[in-house]
């Protein structure tokens, strides 16, 4: 799934994805948090033995009956929000049994029977449904002998309104209101549409036919092999049988759609949109063509299905943006379509990374699937890594390699808190599986892969990946299956490093001793400890850390593997010493003060990616109390205007983040704001409001960031110009060009008065284009004014915004008013719950409070979790509490040093 980067205007990290089952099953395995605690406490010698034992293959179904093939017939009734189904499931029975248990969620069974060899048949004696365990058990009067059978089930179910299971999305068109149907099964919601062994290890083939309105287009994983008119305005559509795959990858869509196609390497590539939007998919279709060719070559295994569609859907989810259903990738419109009225360069790049992420999943995840959710990172970390690698390769002009630093930082921010977890974590319940779609799984997974690829070399890494794909095609794996191939290709035990970074949580820290230069080289001692934001006195874990270092101005690098806590390194040259050169390492670097000063003096000569890495380390270490926070401010002050646009953007984002830490203290915030605005004003003057012919793509992105940042701070010039352009656009559309439209409207909405808010509200009510309509309702929830924020919250609980906009609006209010949004959601718990699917509430509510810095919120979150969440489903609540505690500490203990630095600047 795409979770992070695909999240649209309102989201969290770029994490995308999945809906869960509602119940938590009482298993005896340790929880994810328990794994983290165990890893911290375990002695080094026992560490991997205990982790491997704890993270064994899990099942929530009894073993002994295995599905081989599903023949499914589905008849949806979109108007009534119900469907009926018939399933004929070929199963293998391993030992005599008088019952068969499978997954089922909110399904009602009308009949069940089983047929064996020779035509023997039994009608079910009874069917027991266990709602808590999300299972159904069919009982037979006579035991079934070992062998193969056909299990026949007639059933019915519900069509939902949130993006889970089989769901509907309503949208406006010039011809009136339309309804489309889609499915979203990851991680554990296939069971709400078909009785199934809904676990990734139970792969089977699927033959699907659907009875649908004759005027609508049906879409599945495979091409259509037949369409039969049935009369009464309906038809039966039959799809080709899929290869062996996991249940969560099955897809069905239905609506008033259009489709465009192309052929790439013998595969039919398609994009499917609602009628009238097909022209906006041209970019996605063209880029999908090139991506498929690239992946066929890289993986050494050709894409095995005859077609690959990308399906664009109106609406959105708070938890994912796209889903890699094999041959039928589902994506919300904002992640696939370029609307010329509002789309930006950043939108184009996000669409490309979504495409490359989901298409990479067609191999990593679909062809080869993790055995259980413990190894989810084998899907998500690798798709995230492939998206970055491939974007940089096929679109080097975007220079997206620099964004790797931002992704690594997002992971480290979560990984440095006591509530973190290992990349490979024990998953015992569907709720825990849902919560595993996070920054550790995606971004840390991606960062570790990048580090290991750099360590062994790109060609060696690709050789290992190709071997892994060939050996495990159509099967299921655990992480050790991959490491076995990497070790063999590299000829050295890379798996030992991989285990350090995937089986234990946390962020290594490399402390760089005083550098000594002699005879043209610099000698230095490196010491490995651990970076933590909220446990500065904890005993550090031990990692084997690949380190690359260089001296500024010298192209030669030195490499060493830091193990057992120490290493000595001799680096060519005698300039300022840079550790983690190229930023492929997943660790923090803490320099001696003299080295910090030397690097600051050489900052302009560093490569842009190293400037980003140094800024990130300096800021994080300063805010954690491991070095002076003013070190970062000095770097921000010294960053030249000639720096790469992404480096300037990092300075802007970091200053904006510090500015927000002063919320609630207006005088101190204004003082910091004066410094930040003065630092950013020359960048804004250099970038300007108007795009220049031939400017780099990064400049367009920087322009929008600077306007948004200075607008957030209330910089008078930017605020006045944004308001002027917004007002003028009614007569002159060029006053608010498409690449800046959302940014300018966002600034205006942030600082809107009641009259301006009502004007936006009227526009939202009249807008018919889903992408623009969603944006306008986001704007209504974007106000800094508390009264207007309260009005947005009240509006979110009406029917007006639509069922997918309502939770998004509450989340948007929570960005600026976390305490207000959380209190409101709790006060209207039943109404909010109706707008958030049950399996995702354990994430939704804690995330509303995540930006708070109020001590009272800690108790509120704890009370909410105690009353509403099972003990094994409180990971997001615990993470939000840890973040709040850290934010309180930061404001109390770090901001005074920032204040003192500001005072010295004035003095």
Q: Which residues are catalytic?
A: 358
Calpha distance 797→809 (Å, rounded): 9
Calpha distance 495→481 (Å, rounded): 10
Calpha distance 324→309 (Å, rounded): 10
H-helix or E-strand spanning residue 83: strand 82-93
From residue 620, alpha-carbon distances to 388, 415, 595, 633 in Å are 24, 12, 17, 12
65 CB-near residues (< 8 Å, 6+ apart): 91, 92, 93, 94, 97, 100, 101, 102, 197
Residue reference for tokens 């404001």: 891
Verify cis geometry, omega within 30 degrees of 0, for the bond prior to 187. yes
Calpha distance 146→143 (Å, rounded): 10
DSSP state of 333: G
List 741's β-bridge partners, or say none: none
Calpha distance 130→137 (Å, rounded): 8
Residue reference for tokens 């399906």: 311
Q: Map residue 430 onto helix, strand or coil.
A: helix
Residue reference for tokens 């020359």: 682
Strands 135-144, 126-130: parallel, antiparallel or unpaired by DSSP? antiparallel
DSSP state of 280: G
DSSP string, 407-420: HHHHHHHHHTSTT-
The answer to whether residues 867 and 838 touch, using CB atoms and an 8 Å cutoff, is no
From residue 625, alpha-carbon distances to 329, 532, 534, 628, 898 in Å are 45, 10, 10, 7, 12
C-beta atoms surrounding 110 within 10 Å: 12
Calpha distance 820→806 (Å, rounded): 16
The 3 state secondary structure assigned to 20-81 is: CCCCCCCCCCCCHHHHHHHHHHCCHHHHHHHHHHHCCCCCCCCCCEEEEEEEEEEEEECCCC
Calpha distance 311→15 (Å, rounded): 19
Q: What are phi and psi of 289, to 5 degrees?
A: -60, -50
Per the structure block, which two tokens stand in for 384? Answer: 């995230």
The answer to whether residues 60 and 906 touch, using CB atoms and an 8 Å cutoff, is no
- Name the region of 553 (left: φ>0; alpha: ψ -120 to 50; beta: rest): left
């Amino acid at each position: 799934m795409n979770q992070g980067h695909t999240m649209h205007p309102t989201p969290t990290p770029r994490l995308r994805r999945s809906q869960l089952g509602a119940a938590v099953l009482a298993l005896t395995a340790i929880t994810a948090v328990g794994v983290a605690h165990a890893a911290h406490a375990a002695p080094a010698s026992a560490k991997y033995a205990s982790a491997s034992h704890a993270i064994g293959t899990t099942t929530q179904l009894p073993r002994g009956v295995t599905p081989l093939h599903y023949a499914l017939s589905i008849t949806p009734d979109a108007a009534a929000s119900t469907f009926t189904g018939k399933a004929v499931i070929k199963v293998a029975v391993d030992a005599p049994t008088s019952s068969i248990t499978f997954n089922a969620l909110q399904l009602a069974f009308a009949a069940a029977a089983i047929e064996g060899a020779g035509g023997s048949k039994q009608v079910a004696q009874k069917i027991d449904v266990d709602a808590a365990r999300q299972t159904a058990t069919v009982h037979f009067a006579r035991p079934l002998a070992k062998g193969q059978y056909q299990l026949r089930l007639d059933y019915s179910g519900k069509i939902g309104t949130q993006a889970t299971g089989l769901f509907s999305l309503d949208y406006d068109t010039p011809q009136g209101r339309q309804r489309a149907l889609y499915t979203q099964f990851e991680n554990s919601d296939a069971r709400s549409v078909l009785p199934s062994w809904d676990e990734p290890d139970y792969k089977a083939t699927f033959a699907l036919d659907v009875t649908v309105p004759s005027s609508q287009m049906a879409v599945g994983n495979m091409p259509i092999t037949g369409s039969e008119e049935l009369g009464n305005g309906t038809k039966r559509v039959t799809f080709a049988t899929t290869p062996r795959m996991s249940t969560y990858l099955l897809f069905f869509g239905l609506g008033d759609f259009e489709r465009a196609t192309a052929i790439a390497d013998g595969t039919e590539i398609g994009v499917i949109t609602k009628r009238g939007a097909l022209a906006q998919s041209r970019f996605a279709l063209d880029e999908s063509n090139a991506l498929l060719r690239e992946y066929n070559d890289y993986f050494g295994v050709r894409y095995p299905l005859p077609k690959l569609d990308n399906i664009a859907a109106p609406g959105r989810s708070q938890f994912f943006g796209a889903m890699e259903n094999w041959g039928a990738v589902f994506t919300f419109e904002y992640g696939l379509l370029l609307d010329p009225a509002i789309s930006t360069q950043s939108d184009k790049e996000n669409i490309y990374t979504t495409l490359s992420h989901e298409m990479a999943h067609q191999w990593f995840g679909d062809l080869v699937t993790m055995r259980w959710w413990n190894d989810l990172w084998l899907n998500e970390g690798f798709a995230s890594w492939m998206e970055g690698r491939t974007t940089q390769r096929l679109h080097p002009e975007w220079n997206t390699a620099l964004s790797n630093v931002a992704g690594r930082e997002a992971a480290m921010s979560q990984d440095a808190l006591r509530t973190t977890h290992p990349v490979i974590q024990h998953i015992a319940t569907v709720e825990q599986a849902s919560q595993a779609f996070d920054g550790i799984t995606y971004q840390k997974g991606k960062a570790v892969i990048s580090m290991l690829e750099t360590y062994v070399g790109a060609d060696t890494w690709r050789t290992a990946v190709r071997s892994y794909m060939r050996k495990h095609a159509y099967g299921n794996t655990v992480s050790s299956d991959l490491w076995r191939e990497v070790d063999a290709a590299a000829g050295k035990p890379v798996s030992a490093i991989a285990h350090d970074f995937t089986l234990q949580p946390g962020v290594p820290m490399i402390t760089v001793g005083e550098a000594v230069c002699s005879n043209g080289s610099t000698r230095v001692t490196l010491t490995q400890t651990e970076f933590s934001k909220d446990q500065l006195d904890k005993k550090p874990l031990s990692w084997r850390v690949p380190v690359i270092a260089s001296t500024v101005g010298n192209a030669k690098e030195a490499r060493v593997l830091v193990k057992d806590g120490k290493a000595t390194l001799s680096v060519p040259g005698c300039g300022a010493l840079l550790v983690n050169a190229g930023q492929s390492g997943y660790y923090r670097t803490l320099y001696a003060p003299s080295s910090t000063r030397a690097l600051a003096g050489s900052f302009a000569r560093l490569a842009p990616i190293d400037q980003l890495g140094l800024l990130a380390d300096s800021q994080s270490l300063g805010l954690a109390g491991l070095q002076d926070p003013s070190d970062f401010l000095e770097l921000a002050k010294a960053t030249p205007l000639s720096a790469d646009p992404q480096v300037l953007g990092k300075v802007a984002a970091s200053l904006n983040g510090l500015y927000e830490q002063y919320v609630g203290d207006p005088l101190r915030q204004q003082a910091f704001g004066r410094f930040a605005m003065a630092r950013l004003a020359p960048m804004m003057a250099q970038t300007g409001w108007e795009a220049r012919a031939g400017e780099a793509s990064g400049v367009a992105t920087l322009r929008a960031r600077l306007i948004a940042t200075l607008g957030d701070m209330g910089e008078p010039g930017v605020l006045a110009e944004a308001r002027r352009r917004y007002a003028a656009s009614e007569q002159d559309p060029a006053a608010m060009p498409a690449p800046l439209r959302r940014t300018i409207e966002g600034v205006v909405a942030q600082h809107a008065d009641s009259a301006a808010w009502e004007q936006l509200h009227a526009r939202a009510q009249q807008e018919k284009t889903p992408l623009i309509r969603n944006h306008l309702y986001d704007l209504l929830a974007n106000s800094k004014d508390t009264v207007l924020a309260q009005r947005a919250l009240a509006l979110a609980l009406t029917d007006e915004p639509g069922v997918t906009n309502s939770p998004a609006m509450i989340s948007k209010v929570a960005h600026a008013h976390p305490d207000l949004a959380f209190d409101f959601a709790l006060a209207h718990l039943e109404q909010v719950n109706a707008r958030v699917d049950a399996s995702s509430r354990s994430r939704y509510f804690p995330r509303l409070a995540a930006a708070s810095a109020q001590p009272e919120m800690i108790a509120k979150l704890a009370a909410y979790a105690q009353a509403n969440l099972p003990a094994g489903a409180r990971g997001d609540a615990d993470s939000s509490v840890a973040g709040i505690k850290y934010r309180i500490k930061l404001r109390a203990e770090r901001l005074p040093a920032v204040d003192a630095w500001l005072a010295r600047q004035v003095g």
